[in-house]
Amino acid sequence: MDGLPERDASSVARSGKVGNDRKMEKLEDSIWAHCSSSSVRRASRQLGQLYDDAMGLTDLRGTQFSLLTQIGYLQEPTQKELARAMVMDLSALGHTLKPLIRDDLVELVPDENDRRAKRVRLTATGSAKQAELVANWREAQRRFDAVLGAERSAELRRTLSFIASEDFAKAYEAAGKTAD
């Protein structure tokens, strides 16, 4: 119709685009294909929107579900432990926790050994909400795996886990020092 060739599903999956927009392809060739940070942020925004939609008719976003899940997994972590696990600074974590505290999904309690430290605990309401949303998350994950493929999906998670690790941050810093 517009003189552009039809694209098959595999090329759409590789490029992440559904349309035939030559201007966007050139933009991707100049930016997205060469900047790891921009590519990851762009993909993160897309996945964030899709997983937020998967949470259904709740007031929670995918990031909040992840936070509730991480709190449950770590079993009452300190704020510092939770921030480290989520790769967030304490200020951002505090901001993210506020609506969850307000909605009685989590609570901050003093650490028994260090009264200066606060632990983050799921409330009964928070545990129930997290358990309720697991099915929504599983469906979102099933769709992701169906589109990307289970093997590529698992490899992507391993790669992103490494990138989010302290080992990667240390290696990145060391690579900067050797370039001098």
What integer is the mean pLDDT of 139-152? 95
Residue 20's pLDDT band (cuts 50, 70, 90):
low
- Give residue 86's pLDDT: 92
Phi, psi of 84 (to 5 degrees): -65, -45
Average pLDDT of span 167-179: 89
pLDDT at 25 (0 to 100): 58
How many Å from the N-terminal Cα to the C-terminal Cα in the chain?
53
User: Does residue 20 or residue 122 have the better pLDDT?
Assistant: 122
pLDDT band at 22 (very low <50, low <70, confident <90, very high): low
Query: Taking all residues of the chain, what is their mean pLDDT, rounded to a whole number?
Result: 84
The Cα–Cα gap between 123 and 98 comes to 14
The arithmetic mean of pLDDT across residues 152-159, rounded, is 96
Specify the 3-state DSSP secondary structure of 24.
helix
Vertex 11: Cα angle to 6 and 15 (nearest 5): 115
Pairing of strands 106-110, 118-122: antiparallel
- CA angle, residues 145, 146, 149, in degrees to nearest 5: 60
Given a contact cutoff of 8 angstroms between Cβ atoms, the answer to whether 36 and 168 are in contact is no
pLDDT tens figures, 32-67: 678 899 889 989 999 999 988 888 878 888 889 999
